[in-house]
């Protein structure tokens, strides 16, 4: 996608600036003596708080052959600790009028609760407890392993689109661990055991590998005091592995996959390109790719691909483009076209290439670009009300 990136690399960087400006002066950043980072975002519109702990440990940090262990451990963290019974964590949150959940990505695992602001200390007490005092039984392992295998069946194995994305990602990342699915390959997830879970837990679940984020109706100094009380006594690991991952080799040949599945009601063509990650220090490339995705495929009625292929030639019933900018290492830029009735996949792909070539020749429509910038600014402002 570098050939397209060059066209927009000089666009002014406004991505994320609206949100940053809106909360400027309301974000406080601290670091405890044990290395834990504490970020506080003030929002006094309602007496509510979101308490989150992010661990710098995701599927890309897993040992070879143990895919899915990061996500597996996410499930297991809701089991027992020295002071809480299995499932009691979420029960206490619910009893206090809150909600909680967790998620795993390539690079991070995060746990969060949304609850009344005066219950923040209770959340920190429980979360700091399971950071270091998790207790796992063999029954826990068997039960939760069955859960994640069923989750894989529902979300991936029984979804042709998800299967294709999984295979495409594996083909795109030949050397980098992003080629391994977050939920794990089934044949490896089936063998995960208690020793695997505890080894990953002891290696990565520590204050010096975590970021505490508290957002809501809070005072930063009071949050810091609570963090020092509950997280401060936890010992750091002191020997965290350096996050250096293998890079991708130069691509010398086209990689094309064809997935045939009777469950697919309408065939489509999807392309994925390696793309630069969003660098916190220099976001110009990421901003350019974000805008490029909007220009090419952000809206069927106004985007370059949509206007040309869905309305003018009517060769497609859907087109789209997307840039994923949430990863620590190089990410992806994607294109998709769903052919209209009577249009073959090859015809659709050729038509898309023709439109892209014309776009490269014509350049960016200035009016369209201004509209997209206004839409982004508006959506960022509206997001502050969520």
Residue 12 scores a pLDDT above 50 = no
Residue 214 scores a pLDDT above 70 = yes
Give the active site residue among 33, 42, 62, 74. 74
Is-same-fold flag (2-13+259-383; 24-230)?
A: yes
Residue 14 scores a pLDDT above 60 = no
The pLDDT tens digits for 138-164 are 999 999 999 999 999 999 999 999 999
Instruction: Using a pLDDT cut of 70, give the percent of the chain over it.
Output: 92
Poorest-confidence range of 78-87, 258-267, 310-319, 370-379? 370-379
Q: Provide the residue ranges of all domains of the chain, joining segments of one domain with +.
A: 2-13+259-383, 24-230
- Look at the alpha carbons of 275, 1, 315, 370 in this order and tell me if their dihedral is positive or negative: positive
Secondary structure (H, E, C), the chain: CHHHHHHHCCCCCCCCHHHHHHCCCCEEEEECCCCCEEEEEECCCCCEEEEEEEECCCHHHCCCCCCCHHHHHHHHCCCCECCCCCCHHHHHHHHCCCEEEEEECCCCEEEEEEEEHHHHHHHHHHHHHHHHCECCCHHHHHHHHHHHHHHHHHHHHCCHHHHHHHHHHHHHCCCCHHHCCCCCCHHHHCCCCHHHHHHHHHHHCCHHHEEEEEEECCCHHHHHHHHHHHCCCCCCCCCCCCCCCCCCCCCCCCCCCCCCCCCCCCCCEEEEEEECCCCCCCCHHHHHHHHHHHHHHCCCCCCHHHHHHHHHCCCEEEEEEEECCCCCCCEEEEEEEEECCCCCHHHHHHHHHHHHHHHHHHCCCHHHHHHHHHHHHHHHHHHCCC
Q: What is the mean pLDDT of the chain?
A: 90
Catalytic annotation on 33?
no
Pick the CATH number of 24-230 from 1.10.10.60, 2.60.40.650, 3.30.1200.10, 3.30.830.10: 3.30.830.10
pLDDT classification of 302: cutoffs 50, 70, 90 = confident
Domain 2-13+259-383 has CATH 3.30.830.10: yes
The pLDDT tens digits for 267-283 are 999 999 999 888 766 68
Residue 6 scores a pLDDT above 70 = no
Q: Calculate mean pLDDT across residues 353-365.
A: 94
The pLDDT tens digits for 24-35 are 448 999 999 999
The pLDDT tens digits for 66-109 are 999 999 999 999 999 999 999 999 999 999 999 999 999 999 99
């Amino acid at each position: 996608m570098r050939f397209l990136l060059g066209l927009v690399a000089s666009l002014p960087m406004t991505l994320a600036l609206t949100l940053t400006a809106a909360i400027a002066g309301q974000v406080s950043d601290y670091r405890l003596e044990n290395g834990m980072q504490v970020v506080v975002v003030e929002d006094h519109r309602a007496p509510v708080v979101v308490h989150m702990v992010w661990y710098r440990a995701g599927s890309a940090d897993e040992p070879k052959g143990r895919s899915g262990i990061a996500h597996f451990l996410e499930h297991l963290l809701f089991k027992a600790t020295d002071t809480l019974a299995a499932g009691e964590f979420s029960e206490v949150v619910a009893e206090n009028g809150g909600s909680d959940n967790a998620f795993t990505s390539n690079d991070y695992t995060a746990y969060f609760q949304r609850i009344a602001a005066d219950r923040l200390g209770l959340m920190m007490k429980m979360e700091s407890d399971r950071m270091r005092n998790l207790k796992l039984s063999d029954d826990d392992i068997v039960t939760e392993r069955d859960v994640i295998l069923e989750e894989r069946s529902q979300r991936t194995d029984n979804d042709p689109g998800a299967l294709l994305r999984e295979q495409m990602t594996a083909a795109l990342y030949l050397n980098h661990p992003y080629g391994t699915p977050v939920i794990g390959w089934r044949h490896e997830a089936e063998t995960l055991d208690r020793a695997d879970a505890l080894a990953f837990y002891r290696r990565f679940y520590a204050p010096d590998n975590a970021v505490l984020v508290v957002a809501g109706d809070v005072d930063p100094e009071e949050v810091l005091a609570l963090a020092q009380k509950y997280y401060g006594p936890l010992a750091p690991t002191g020997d965290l592995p350096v996050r250096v991952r293998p890079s991708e080799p130069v691509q010398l040949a086209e990689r094309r996959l064809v997935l045939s599945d009777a469950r697919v009601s309408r065939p489509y063509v999807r392309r994925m390109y390696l793309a630069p990650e969003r660098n916190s220090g220099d976001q110009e490339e990421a901003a350019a790719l974000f805008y490029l995705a909007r220009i090419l495929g952000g809206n069927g009625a106004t985007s370059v691909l949509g206007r040309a292929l869905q309305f003018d030639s009517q060769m497609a019933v859907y087109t789209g483009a997307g840039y994923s900018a949430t990863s620590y290492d190089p990410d992806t830029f994607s294109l998709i076209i769903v052919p209209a009735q009577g249009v073959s996949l090859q015809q659709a792909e050729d038509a898309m290439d023709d439109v892209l070539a014309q776009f490269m020749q014509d350049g960016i429509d200035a009016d369209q670009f201004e509209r997209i910038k206004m839409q982004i600014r508006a959506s960022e402002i509206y997001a502050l009300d969520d």
